[in-house]
Amino acid sequence: SSPYKIAVLAGDGIGPEVMAQARHVLAKISEKFGPSFEFTEQLVGGAAIDAVGKALPAETLAACEASDAILFGSVGGPKWETLPPNEQPERGALLPLRKHFGLFANLRPSICYPSLTHASPVKEELIAGGFDVLCVRELTGGLYFGQPKFRGEKDGEMTAIDTMIYKKSEIVRIAHVAFKAAQGRRKQLTSIDKANVLENGILWRATVEEVAKDYPDVKLSHLYVDNAAMQLIKQPRSFDVVLCENLFGDILSDEMAMITGSLGMLASASLGQAKGDGLYFGLFEPSGGSAPDIAGKGIANPIAQILSTALLLRFSLGLEKEAAAIEAAVRKVIDDGLRTGDIYSGAEGTRKVNTAEIGSAIVAAI
Ligand code: NAD
Ligand code: IPM
Ligand code: MN
């Protein structure tokens, strides 16, 4: 059969460092299970600005269009923060990619492995029974993309405007994703909004209630976003699937990641509508960023990138066995006690290693 086509966009900061480990993992998957991959490495973000003057070169976009999926690292950093906002890596490349491919459904699975509970900042007894929450984040609407967007002089002083806008159809389609995910898990859905203040929140809550009628087996509850941020820390195990609009999901998913021990553990899948074959075109990236504070040192945690690669195999290529093998290998290496600095706490039986060492251990465990 013809090889699967993967566009590889490593980007900036720790992006290339963790991507290298994901590539080793894919090489091992080919060797062990047989599928062949055709990779096209493309410039994106600050690296693309430096090389060709644009965060999302036409060639990169064309390569993504010609691929089955995009494996993305991370973009951005201090070097490009003074450029005009629309030319910066985030708004010039990552957001346009999400919008261009209609990737409205962002899945962020936060799992705290039992042997990692000590690395979490929440009390061990709160997650000792396991922490496994799926954040379903709407990704192409809300404040990120709403018009008007403006910053300039207005009524005699500097003024900034961002517009929060959701069409009912946008809420309906992401709600279906969340309910379906809940059906495959513990059948509990918590929908997040700010219905006590925002018109968007009122529409969000009413729409999710309506969609719920199609899923009588799922227990739906609603939380205001401020309370949700608090409950996540107070009783993390009370959540199964959490449904959020774009910005709330951005914020709460970092919090969920930290409950598992580190942002460096949190993978993500950004998906569009299912294709006829039940698979999805998608962009797969760690939820964290380019981590300028540790970039270039070879100490970043590659697990979010590696688990994102597993999600790519599952959702875009239908390679479930291979995806599960990667996830099992990550779990084994964590259980064996290997830790990058972000998840190392000096606990007995654990060892601090660098990016390449933990990457090699995961490859060996596959
Ligand atoms: P960040 O996610 O890069 O870093 C936040 C903290 O988490 C840092 O202390 C960092 O060291 C740590 N961290 C993140 N990933 C890690 C990993 N794999 N291993 C170990 N530690 C890790 O957030 P920031 O510092 O606010 O943003 C830096 C840049 O990244 C900004 O330009 C931001 O816009 C961009 N960003 C990009 C993406 C993306 O490309 N998907 C996502 C988030 C932020
Ligand atoms: C994320 C990131 C992005 C977002 C930024 C870099 C645009 O924080 O994927 O969580 O806000 O969506
Ligand atoms: Mn974020």
What is the domain partition of the chain in residue ranges?
1-104+273-366, 121-259
| CA–CA gap between residue 109 and residue 106 (Å, rounded) | 10
- Does 1-104+273-366 carry CATH code 3.20.20.10? no
CA distances from 11 to 3, 60, 243 (A): 24, 12, 28
Q: What pLDDT score was predicted for residue 260? A: 94
- Select 121-259's CATH number: 3.30.70.980, 3.40.640.10, 3.40.718.10, 3.90.79.10: 3.40.718.10
Q: What pLDDT score was predicted for residue 285? A: 98
Structure tokens at 98: 């999400």
Q: What pLDDT score was predicted for residue 110? A: 97
**Residues lower than pLDDT 70 in the chain:** 1
Output the pTM of the full model. 0.98
Please, what sign has the CA dihedral across residues 174, 177, 182, 185?
negative
Q: What pLDDT score was predicted for residue 133? A: 98
Atom 4, ligand 2: which residue's CA is nearest? Answer: 250
Q: What pLDDT score was predicted for residue 295? A: 98
| CA–CA gap between residue 172 and residue 166 (Å, rounded) | 10
Q: What pLDDT score was predicted for residue 109? A: 97
Q: Is 250 in the pocket of ligand 1 (CB under 6 A)?
A: no
Which amino acid belongs to residue 245? E
Pocket residues for ligand 2 (CB within 6 Å)? 76, 90, 94-95, 250, 287, 289
Q: Which long-range contacts (CB under 8 A, 24 or more apart) does 313-316 make?
A: 313/29, 315/69, 315/269, 315/271, 315/279, 315/280, 315/282, 315/284, 316/68, 316/69, 316/279, 316/280, 316/281, 316/282, 316/284
- The helix (run of H) or strand (run of E) holding residue 158 is strand 157-163
DSSP state of 292: T
* Residues whose beta carbons lie less than 5 angstroms from ion ligand 3: 250
ipTM score of the complex? 0.98
Distance from the CA of 269 to the center of ligand 3, in angstroms? Answer: 13
Distance from the CA of 89 to the center of ligand 2, in angstroms? Answer: 11
350 known ligand binder: no
Q: Is 294 in the pocket of ligand 1 (CB under 6 A)?
A: yes
Q: Are strands 338-339 and 188-193 parallel, antiparallel or unpaired?
A: unpaired
